[in-house]
Amino acid sequence: MKVALSSGALSFDPREGWAGILKMRHSGASLWLLAALVWLPVLGAPVAEKVSSGQRTAVLEFLSAVASGDPQAVALSIHPDELQALRLRILALLRDEAKRGDSTVRSRLFGQGMPLDDIERLTNTGFYATLAYKIYLTGREYTEVEGLAAIPDKGDHVHVVVLGRQPRDHGKVQVVSVVTLRPYGKDWKATLPSEIEAQIDDLIEGRRIAVAPRQSAAVGVGTATTLPAIVELLNAAEKSLSEGKCDEYYSKQMSPNFRRVTGKKALEALVTSCQNGMGTRQLLLSTLHIVRGLEPHYENESQRAVYDLTGQGLPFQTFSLEQVDRHWFIAE
């Protein structure tokens, strides 16, 4: 039995239960959502409950965090047990991979520049925030949400359907959202969104994720082919580091401007750290290796080349070169 809800353009099949309602949500049928609820008890489907104030607060916290675009805020809005389970599951994969001498999954999830040791030291929250540079969530800002229904699921999970009201200057459209929650003491926290789990699986398997590009540090400046002189600089810098000639790297490949503003003792400390610390030298080599596969953004009338390293697993988001007296150098 199907029930037509809108001039034959939309119908609800009660046999589909809540799956049918969620399908309607994706079709934009928010106005008919409550009308469909009356059919569920007839078929023995899970009976919707009233949304509590604690559930509404948890939903708004999660949706606001997503709208902010801050991975740390999103992580803090998710149930800690969910983050821990995610971290332990992925770490097990990475450790098994490392035993085979492979790093494919690690590079896909965290970028080529982040070693396993650094990943293992991340907290549950930091783990998600770091991983978030490879995944994508989109959301809207809401001033408040109206609870429509709380739908119990397996275990302690509850799917909460809300109607979000945007700020006045964002228009009058009200948006239906579904956020899955689980108890957190006397309160509630969001579970890890299934969309995020699916994107993580896509990354692990090497499947392409169609997402909106993140804003880079060089917004408004187009990329261009790497100049031969820059290729020559990168080759020379990589050769110096590979041969352990850190003094040559800092004296010949680093910019005169960098050396001028860096004190003598500080410069000596950098050279010593590079020579004595394999981790430091490996970080520099990894950066050069990654940069060689990217195209730069040219700034300052093409006197500066900036590489966007977001999501590459490095402790910095950009890498810059600059031209001084018609020669290219590493700027910082």
What's the average pLDDT block by block, 10 residues per block, for the chain (332 residues)? 44 50 47 48 64 94 92 93 96 95 90 86 91 84 90 91 90 90 96 93 82 42 71 90 91 90 88 86 87 86 86 85 90 85
216 lies in a domain? no
**Quick one: 157 and 202 in the same domain?**
yes
Eight-class DSSP state of 303: T
**Cα separation of 69 and 210, whole Å?**
18
Residue with tokens 């916290």: 61
Among candidate residues 182, 211, 240, the one where a domain is terminated:
211
Structure tokens at 92: 């097990």
221 lies in a domain? no
- For residue 2, the model assigns a pLDDT of 47
**Quick one: 159 and 92 in the same domain?**
yes
Closest CA to 251 of 260, 243, 242, 22: 260
**Quick one: 85 and 136 in the same domain?**
yes
**Cα separation of 141 and 78, whole Å?**
18
Which residues have CB under 8 Å from 212's CB, separation 6+? 136, 138
222 lies in a domain? no
Q: How many domains in the chain?
A: 3
Closest CA to 148 of 276, 61, 52: 52
**Quick one: 7 and 73 in the same domain?**
no
Summarised one tens digit per residue, pLDDT across range 84-128 is 999 999 999 999 999 999 999 998 898 878 888 889 999 999 999
220 lies in a domain? no
**Quick one: 201 and 235 in the same domain?**
no
**Quick one: 174 and 267 in the same domain?**
no
223 lies in a domain? no
CB 11 within 8 A of CB 3: yes
The β-bridge relationship of strands 158-165 and 144-152 is: antiparallel
**Collapsing DSSP states into helix, strand and coil, what is residue 23?**
helix
34 lies in a domain? yes
**Quick one: 17 and 99 in the same domain?**
no
Summarised one tens digit per residue, pLDDT across range 208-260 is 765 544 444 343 344 567 888 888 999 999 999 988 899 999 999 999 888 88
Domain that holds residue 279: 228-330
**Quick one: 132 and 279 in the same domain?**
no
**Quick one: 259 and 309 in the same domain?**
yes
CB 106 within 8 A of CB 97: yes
Instruction: Give the chain's largest Cα–Cα span.
Output: 82
The whole-model pTM stands at 0.63
**Quick one: 146 and 108 in the same domain?**
yes
**Quick one: 249 and 155 in the same domain?**
no
Among candidate residues 157, 185, 211, the one where a domain is terminated:
211
**Quick one: 111 and 207 in the same domain?**
yes
